[in-house]
Amino acid sequence: MSTDTLLWMVDGKPQYGMDVRFGDENNPTRKGKFDIYMKMEHCISTIYHTSMPDAMFFSGGEAVHFSIDFATYGYAHRSHGCVNVRDRAAVARLFADTRVGDTVVVY
C-alpha cells in the first residue's frame, strides 16, 4: 500500500508530514535506508534541466525536493525517481530541519 506521504520523525516521534510523489515503473524511486549526503537550496537537474529547490540528496541523483510540476498537476505525472513535494513552505521547513547525515527511509 502506498500513502504518498513523507513523515519527518525525530527520535521515533512524528513531527509533521506532507504529500509527496515518487517515480514510476520506468524511473522508480529506490527503496531502502539512506543518509542525506548533500543539500542544495538552489539546484537544477543536470539530467532533466529542471529546477529542484531545497534538494536533499539521499541516493545517487535522487533527492527530496520541491516540484512545481507536482504543485501544478498533482499525481497526473510522476517523478523521475526523486521524492517530489508540492508544498513549497513544507519542503523549505524540512530543508531547514534536516542535516547532512540524517536518515531517509523509502518504502
Q: Write out the catalytic residue numbers.
A: 65, 82
CA triple 54-104-96, angle to 5 deg: 35
- Comparing C-alpha atoms, which of 81, 61, 105 is closest to residue 21? 81
CA distances from 12 to 19, 77, 87, 94, 107 (A): 20, 32, 24, 16, 16
State the residue for C-alpha cell 539530467: 47
Cα-based angle 90, 23, 55 (whole degrees, multiple of 5): 40
